[in-house]
Amino acid sequence: MSENSSDVASRRQFLTGLAAAGAAAAMPSGLAFAQGAKAAKPKHHGVIDVHHHFWAPEYLKAQDDWEDAHHVPHLPGMQNWSPEVPIAAMDKAGVQTSIVSLASISQGMWGLDPAAATKVCHACADYGAKMVSDHKGRFGLFAPLNMIDVDSSLKEAEYAFDQVHADGIGIQSSYNGMYLGDPTYDPIWQELNRRKAVVFVHGPNNACCSAIKDGPGMFGSVVEVTFDVTRTCASLLTSGALQKYPNIQWIIAYGGGTLPFVAGRINNFIKQMKNVNEIAPHGVTAELQKFNVDTVNVTNPSSMAAMTKFLPASQILYGTDFFYFNNDQLDELDHLHLSAKELDAIHSGNAKRLIPRLAKA
Amino acid sequence: MATRRDFVAGAAAAGAAAALPGAGRAESAKPKHSGVIDTHFHFWAPEYLKLSQDWGAAHHAQPDPRIANWTPQVALDEMDRGGVKTAMLSLASIREGFWGLDAAKASNVIRACDDFAAKMMSDHKGRFGLFAPLNMIDLESSLKEAEYALDQVHADGIGIQSSANGRYPGDPYYNPLWEELNRRKAVVFFHGPVPDCCGALKVGPGINPAVGEVTFDMTRAVMSLLANGALARYRDIKWLFSYGGGATPYIAGRIEAFFKDAKNLHDIAPNGVMGELAKLHYDTVNVTAAPSFAALTKLAPISQITYGTDFPYFTNDQLDTLDQRGLAAKDLEAIHSGNAKRLLPRLAKV
């Protein structure tokens, strides 16, 4: 760990503040705000971070307004986020490029109607595109779709790819309780399949579960987002979407949520379904092994043991979940006895293969 | 054989197959394993069966023939097939608290379950043990149920769900119960329900919510006990979690990442988050596949892992899967029965 004591001290203050607020949606551990870039040469270099968040002003306002209306305290430090904050953290750790996407969303797209949501999505696409062009080679963009309305989501996808040249799409695992395998979304997947798009799937604050009271200091984000992305993997499997749209390159956040661990159980149940040959002609496990996953919060020995037994290293991509979590995860990855070749693939090689533009950046 | 296949086909056709007992039964062949103890095995006392069926009918749930057709003999047949000497009985998933009953009615049914299981134990010496149910919707009556089960019926431990009506086991409401079970150095076995939060989520066509949701709820229970300090406070309870802890071994890193700077970390997790999780006990239900088993054995030592089937939903095919994990003979033996005998010393004598 390369943190100095002031990092830890400020992190503690921060967490204390959060605990006092009593309702934090998530606890940042990134804490780059108060830190200057260190002079020391980073241990890694050329890393690509595929799970990295950004806040366009219009988007932050939509989030703040929703939180105010629902008496959810704002995350401390959010207002101080600017593109310079991640760049300092990236420089410190040796991250060349971060692909920016939206963090957890509540109530569809913060309760907005499709027209208002589209405006916010466009503003995010524009803001992300400006980050990409202002800081050459440092950012990529997984552009958001509102996902509460198919027609406008399709238009957002067209705008994202054809106007701002996004590197892919970044969405949540469910919207208002609808999972990604729902047939409603078929037109979107048809279009993204045609474009051979990368689709990054992130975990939302799902209304079902965010308020489950499993204890003080527990809040939805800790475990619920991992469950929600797992649900959507199962949804994409049983709806046949994985079969029907083979050209979509899925990247599932948090190492697939819980997928590598519960894949055996999913197989035990789903293999008995009547339509299993349609949705999984080569077996349930083979279908589930089509997913790519990121490394957020799974760089510990038990998680990585399951992940590397479930997927080849070529389908594992480094991610931080900045600014909630930081590049400590690069150091943790170093301790997992991966070969140099595997580490390089996870650090950047796989991302460059999925997003060829990055190989040239 | 034919009946079983018909049964399976029927369940699949009904679109509700929660899980299917393995086909390919070798009727008279000598089982490959012997002396195995199954710590996750379900039973239905008649009163309890009626209660769950009534609830199902009222909520338009598909009846499950595996439950309706369950008898002690069906259980023994599966045990004999797999080479299981003793199965620890517990209730399967419960909905709406205790099937929507008030505490007094729930206590009556629970007593019937205890008595039925006690009869199974005495009718079939050495073949069964009991993780006795508690209603968990009411503290006082749950305490009385525990006393009856442990003192009158001589249950081997307690078997409860990971949540009841949205209340998780770390809730301070339950502290008096944990204090009592801690005093008794009891084994507490956790089973996963489909919690009310999540059973109706529209994940996709044909997905039984039990696939993911029970494992998620199990994980919440572990987190709840950890975050509320119950794991640290009640050191003499032997906590045993189903499905290898739900998803605990996989998201342990995320839990630690959130908690490692918590101000009360030393109080709730004196051994650190990973250290506390390594002290718990986990069964092998549906986690005998290579990825999940690798995670489980990285999180917890072999000594904390006990074999379980989740019969009648799943079977002793899992013994064969376990054989493929490349375990040393002594580790396999520990998981098959040695660890259970350490947890439940009575079983070492039967």
Distance CA B263, CA B251 (A): 21
Residues in chain A within 8 Å Cβ distance of B295: 260-261, 302-303, 305-306
Q: In 10 A of CB B157, how many CB atoms? A: 24
As for how many domains chain B has, the answer is 1
pLDDT digit string (tens) for A148-199?
999 999 999 999 999 999 999 999 999 999 999 999 999 999 999 999 999 9
> Does CATH place domain A5-360 in 3.20.20.140?
yes
Is B85 contained in some domain? Answer: yes
Is A129 near chain B, with CB under 8 Å?
no
Is B30 contained in some domain? Answer: no
Question: Nearest residue of A to residue B245 by CA position?
Answer: A261
Distance CA A96, CA B189 (A): 48
Q: List chain B residues with pLDDT less than 50.
A: 1-26
pLDDT digit string (tens) for B48-107?
999 999 999 999 988 899 999 999 999 999 999 999 999 999 999 999 999 999 999 999
Token pair of A303, please? 């998680």
pLDDT of residue A213: 73
Distance CA B148, CA B142 (A): 10
Of the pLDDT bands very low, low, confident and very high (cuts 50, 70, 90), residue A217 is low
Axis-axis angle for helices B139-147, B103-123 (nearest 10): 20
pLDDT digit string (tens) for B119-154?
999 999 999 999 999 999 999 999 999 999 999 999
Residue A49 DSSP one-character state: E
Provide the ipTM: 0.88
Distance CA B238, CA A346 (A): 39
Is B16 contained in some domain? Answer: no
Question: Nearest residue of B to residue A297 by CA position?
Answer: B254
Is B20 near chain A, with CB under 8 Å?
yes
- Asked if residue A4 has pLDDT above 70, the reply is no
Long-range pairs, B115-123, Cβ under 8 A, ≥24: B115/B45, B115/B153, B116/B43, B116/B45, B116/B46, B116/B47, B116/B48, B117/B43, B117/B45, B117/B89, B117/B153, B117/B155, B118/B153, B118/B154, B120/B43, B120/B72, B120/B89, B123/B72
Residue A238 has its nearest CB partner, among B198, B205, B263, at B205
Is B159 contained in some domain? Answer: yes
- Listed by start position, the domains of chain A span 5-360
Cα A243 to the chain's mean position, in Å?
23
Distance CA B306, CA B290 (A): 17
Range of the domain at B302: 36-349
Is B165 contained in some domain? Answer: yes
Q: The whole model's pTM is what?
A: 0.90
Mutate one of B251, B299, B309, B316 to test the A interface: name it (highest A CB count within 10 A).
B251
Residues contacting B74, CB < 8 A, separation 6+: B312
- Asked if residue A35 has pLDDT above 80, the reply is no
Find the CATH number of the domain harbouring B223. Answer: 3.20.20.140
Is B26 contained in some domain? Answer: no
Long-range pairs, B68-73, Cβ under 8 A, ≥24: B69/B7, B70/B42, B70/B43, B70/B44, B70/B312, B72/B43, B72/B120, B72/B123, B72/B124
DSSP B171-232: SGGGHHHHHHHHHTT-EEEEE----TTTTT-B--TT--THHHHHHHHHHHHHHHHHHTTHHH
